[in-house]
Amino acid sequence: MPGRWQLKDSGRRRGESIMKLRFWGVRGSIASPGPATVRYGGNTTCLELRTDDNQVIIVDAGTGLHPLSLSLLAELPVDTHILITHTHWDHIQGLPFFIPQFIPGNDFSIYGSYDPVTQKNVGETLSIQLQYSYFPVREVELQSKPSYVTVNQREPFAIADATITPVLLNHPVINLGYRVDCNGKSFFFTGDHEPPFNMYQPGDESYAMYQEIIDERNGFIYESLQGIDVLVADSSYTPEEYRSGKEGWGHGTFDSSIGMARDLGVKQLFFTHHEPTRSDDALEKVYAEALDRCDCSTDERARFQLAREGLEIEW
C-alpha cells in the first residue's frame, strides 16, 4: 500500500501477530484545513488501531473521526471501541458526526475518565454535545446508542485480544494516555502531555518537596511505558515557543518527545498534535531543526517521524 511504513519486513511468518495503526487527525487545538496543511492534514486528533482479530480501537474523537466513520460503513455492522484521552474540544468534536450511530444495529463503546473537578463521568460529560443547544440530533434519537465506560489510571481492561492500560499524564484536565498490548505488540499515545516541571526555583523552600513529586510522577509514567514498540507523542512546540509563555498549557515539544523515546528505547516515535497555525513547510522545518538540535543519529532520523493523515503502519 502506498505510504505504508513497516517496522518489520514483509516476510512475516505465518501466524505471527500484527498490529495496525492509521492516523486520521494529527492537528492540535482546532481543525486547520487549507492549502497550507494538505500534506500532513488539518483534522484534529484521531487514530485507528486494529488488532490481530481485526478489532477496531479508536483513540480520540477529533474531527478526523468523521472520515474514519465513513470508512467503517463498508464493514457494517460496526463493532468498535473509542478511547478518549480527555474531553477538550479538539479530542471529542468529531463524536456528533460519527456516522454509525445514526444507523441501527451498530455497537460501540466510549471509554474515558471520571473528572473530579466537575464530578462527572465520561458519559455525563460527552452527552452535553448532543443537547439541543449544540446539535440538532439528541442522544435519545440516535439509532445506535453508545455504551459509556469509566476507566481508571493503571487499571488494565480488555478489548477483544488487546489489553488497554490507562496512564495519567500531565495536562490542565484529567488526561489518560493509553497503552495497548496485543500478542507481544505494543503502542502508546500520550494524548496531550507536558512533561511535569518544577515551578519553584532551586533554593526556594518548596523546591525539593515539589521535585520529589515530579520525580515520582515521571517515574510512574516511564515505568508504565517500558517496552513500547510505537510511541505517538504530543509535540506541539519548539523549545523557544514553549518558553515564550506556554509553560503550563499542557503540551510537549519535539525535544521532550525525543527525550522520552530515547529513554524508553522505543522502536518508532511519531510527533503529533501539530500546531494549527504551522504550515506543512514550517512543520517540516521545525522537525528537521529538532533532529539536528538533538543530534539524532541516522537510525533515529528514520525512526522519529512526523505523523500525517492517511499514514498507515503495521508491526
Question: What's the pLDDT score for residue 17?
Answer: 83
Q: Per residue in 130-151, pLDDT tens?
A: 998 999 999 999 999 999 999 9
Q: Whose CA is closest to 69, among 30, 109, 97, 111?
A: 97
| Helical residues (DSSP H) of 95-228, grouped into ranges | 122-126, 207-224
Per DSSP, the three-state class of 223 is helix
Q: Per residue in 244-283, pLDDT tens?
A: 999 999 999 999 999 999 999 999 999 999 999 999 999 9
CA distance linking residue 279 with residue 239, whole number of Å? 18
**Average pLDDT for the chain:** 93
Q: Per residue in 20-74, pLDDT tens?
A: 999 999 999 999 999 999 999 999 999 999 998 899 999 999 999 999 999 999 9
How is the chain split into domains, by residue range? 17-312
- CB-based burial label for 90 (10 Å; 0-12, 13-18, 19+): buried
Q: Looking at residue 298, what DSSP letter applies?
A: H
**Residue 201 is which amino acid?**
Q
274 near 236, Cβ under 8 Å?
yes
Mean pLDDT over residues 82-107, rounded? Answer: 97
CATH 3.90.79.10 fits 17-312, yes or no: no
C-alpha cell at 76: 457494517
Q: Per residue in 9-20, pLDDT tens?
A: 444 555 578 999
Mean pLDDT over residues 197-205, rounded? Answer: 88
Question: What's the pLDDT score for residue 10?
Answer: 43
pLDDT at 100 over 90: yes
Which region among 68-77, 152-161, 204-213, 301-310 has the lowest average model confidence (pLDDT)? 204-213
Q: Output phi, psi for 302, to 5 deg.
A: -80, -30
pLDDT at 315 over 70: yes
Question: What's the pLDDT score for residue 12?
Answer: 52
Question: What's the pLDDT score for residue 1?
Answer: 33
pLDDT at 119 over 50: yes
Q: How confident is the model at residue 2 (pLDDT cuts 50, 70, 90)?
A: very low
